[in-house]
Amino acid sequence: MRVRAIVDSANAALPKVSVLLALYQGERFLQQQLDSIAAQTDVSWDLVVSDDGSVDCGPQIIRNFADAFPGRVALQTGPGQGAVANFCALLTSVETQGYVALADQDDVWFSNKLARAVTTLATVPAQTPALYCSRVEICDAQLNPAGMSRRPKRPASFRHALVQNLVQGNTIVMNQTAKHLMQSALRTSGQIVMHDWFIYQIVSGAGGRVIYDKDPTLRYRQHDSNVVGANEGMRARLASIKRMLQGQQSTWSRQNIAALSNCTSLLTVENRVHLETFRQLVEGSVVHRLQAMWGGQFYRQGCFSQAALWLAAAIGRV
């Protein structure tokens, strides 16, 4: 009993992080992810898993993990509407104090992932919404290294978030203020495109801090069951630009505008103006689109991608 009391006392002194994991048919790689969460150093973690209707052994793997870590693991039923809705359900329901991290079911975290994020976020005033994200080491299904995710060339901002996502969801860690901000946003937003992109938009739009770590914090496994793969390499970049010029970006933009318009009370005055300028970029005439592109100073990462954004503005595909 005395030993247990000493351990509990030590954990109580560590920063608390609630890890939110969206699960669906994840048995193949799940145990390695769980082991890497359990191996996190210098933080006190708990895990909330939302299962979206798995019929494999994933839920039982979670229950076995919960038995190994009593009182630290919760398994709940997801909405059954896909990964984005599952992560949103996790975010809106989490009530614990401390930091919040998002986890995919098939990665492997470096042992200092959460500690590195918490140390960085602790430098931000508690009343400021703060979002940490990082690069990843891209691997194949067997965790053989296949490269690194790209480092952004330009800083995070709401003007960037409106046209491109910088934040990879499986690297996200938020402070309490950002968590409460996202819960408020998700209560009114309606349908969103991607949870990580929307988090980036809301935190930057509310005047919060978005911190991008140039060093990787996890091994990002690429396999045939990924919902969203790594957007790396020239072929992937060209495919992304092709989707934009074919109109997929415009569909996403209109959905983002609708969601953000339902959350304007959370945005700074300056960023409400940027949102209205972006609306002109998406919905206006060719003259208004080009004026909005120039006046709003919207940007994507990389010269080639930025040139494609100008072309998309000219032909009405933003």
Which stretch of 213-222, 234-243, 263-272 has the lowest confidence by average pLDDT? 234-243
> What confidence tier does 223 reach under pLDDT thresholds 50, 70, 90?
confident
228 assigned to some structural domain: no
Q: Are residues 30 and 138 in the same domain?
A: yes
Asked if 105 contacts 30 with a C-beta cutoff of 8 angstroms, the reply is: yes
pLDDT at site 7: 39
Q: What is the pLDDT of residue 5?
A: 34
Indicate if 258 and 161 belong to the same structural domain: no
| Predicted pLDDT at 48 | 98
For the residues 184-196, what does the mean pLDDT come to?
Answer: 98
- Which of 221, 250, 276 is where one domain is finished? 221
Q: Which one, of 39, 37, 15, 20, lies nearest residue 98 by Cα?
A: 15
Q: Are residues 129 and 263 in the same domain?
A: no
Residue 206 lies in a domain: yes
Mean pLDDT of 31-50: 98
Q: Where are the alpha helices (DSSP H) in 230-302?
A: 233-246, 248-261, 269-283, 286-296
- Beta pairing class for 173-174 and 16-23: unpaired
Do 168 and 211 contact (CB within 8 A), yes or no? Answer: no
**Residue 240 shares a structural domain with residue 180:** no
Query: What value does the mean pLDDT take over residues 158-172?
Result: 98
**268 located within any domain:** yes
- For residues 24 and 92, state if they share a domain: yes
What value does the mean pLDDT of the chain take?
Answer: 93
Residues 196-211 have a mean pLDDT of: 98
Does residue 251 sit in the same domain as residue 291?
yes
* Biggest alpha carbon–alpha carbon distance for the chain: 74
The reply to whether 238 and 216 lie within a common domain is: no
At 240, the pLDDT band (50, 70, 90 cuts) reads: confident
pLDDT at 238: 78
Kindly state whether residue 247 falls inside one of the protein's structural domains.
yes
Segments forming the whole domain that contains residue 101: 2-221
Contacts of 267 (CB under 8 A, 6+ apart): 158, 205, 206, 260, 275
Q: What confidence tier does 95 reach under pLDDT thresholds 50, 70, 90? A: very high
Same domain, 166 and 208: yes
* Share of residues in the chain with pLDDT > 90 (%): 87
The answer, yes or no, to whether residue 31 has pLDDT greater than 70, is: yes
By three-state DSSP, how is residue 1 classified? coil
For residue 142, being part of any structural domain is answered with yes
Q: Assess if residue 68 is contained within a domain.
A: yes
Same domain, 302 and 162: no
At which of 192, 221, 250 does a domain end?
221
Domain boundary among 199, 221, 243: 221
DSSP string spanning 99-154? Answer: EEEEE-SS-EE-TTHHHHHHHHHTTS-TTS-EEEEEEEEEE-TT--EEEEPPPPSS
At 59 the pLDDT is 98
Looking at the structure, tell me whether residues 78 and 129 fall in a common domain.
yes
pLDDT value at position 1? 28
Which phi and psi angles does 39 have, rounded to 5°? -85, 5
CATH classification at residue 104: 3.90.550.10
* 7: three-class secondary structure by DSSP: helix
> Taking Cα atoms as reference points, which of 34, 12, 13 lies closest to residue 23?
34
Whether the pLDDT of residue 300 is over 80: the answer is yes
- Statement to judge: residues 93 and 147 lie in one domain: yes
Distance, CA of 32 to CA of 10 (rounded, Å): 26
Instruction: Record the tokens describing residue 286, joined without a space.
Output: 């060719």
Q: Structural domain tally of the chain? A: 2
CB 266 within 8 A of CB 207: no
Residue 227 lies in a domain: no
Same domain, 62 and 168: yes
pLDDT in tens, 2-24: 223 333 545 779 999 999 999 99
pLDDT over 90 (residue 144): yes
- Residue 226 in any domain: the answer is no
